[in-house]
Amino acid sequence: MELSGKVTIITGVSKGIGRATAEALLAKGALVAGWGRTAPENLTHENFQFFECDVRDEVSVQEAFVNTQRELGKEVHVLVNNAGIGNFGPIDGFSSEDWHAMFDTNVHGLFYCTRAVLPQMKQQKLGHIINVASLAGTAGTANLAGYCATKYAVRGFSDALFKEVRPQGVRVTCVMPGSVETNFNGATPGQEPDPHKIQPEDIADTIVHALEAPQSTMISELQMRPTLPK
């Protein structure tokens, strides 16, 4: 897809992968609607608009979508379902609140956002949905059972969805990064890039690569790992 002038919605836009993806798409000339609970700091661009949205709240998602169409036009070409959280720990010490928070954000929020944009994308017979999962959606890890469960769900949802919507010209890509240097799970990125972790900008570039693939081609899954493991 040619990205210049295309309307793109990105969830979890305030930092990390979401912000990096917003900047990469703005550099390609896209019109970016950033959805999140907090606006990204110092991201000022004539083609960027922030819309307050809590993806866990179905009504909040609907309002953000209505506001996006009002401000940027009816057509919506790209949705990047990036918002996500991870709460780690042993299952027998895990709170129900933390469990539900992950599913509400990582799975239910992704469903609300996808359902909002699909009718318009189908009508256009053009659209691309990027679901940011994780390598945790391919293999279980001790003390990450809840997080893995949400990312397995995202991968399964993506696999089923692309088969459902590709006859209408809508593409779906599931991006599964390994260790990323972000603020995820309370971590603080270092001043120098960690050579054993993927940088958010690298994932953003990969998302752009999938979006720019010829319309006759759909990259359904992408697994990403650091070249130099610890």
Residues involved in catalysis: 147
**Alpha-carbon dihedral sign for residues 32, 135, 155, 93:** negative
Neighbour tally for 141: CB within 10 Å: 11
Q: What is the H or E stretch that residue 201 is in?
A: helix 200-211
Give how far Cα 196 sits from Cα of 21, 178, 202, 228, Å: 21, 10, 13, 5
Q: Give me the phi and psi of 5, to 5 degrees please.
A: 80, 0
Buried b (16+ CB within 10 A) or exposed e, 69-95: beebeebbbbbbbbbbbbbeeeeeeee
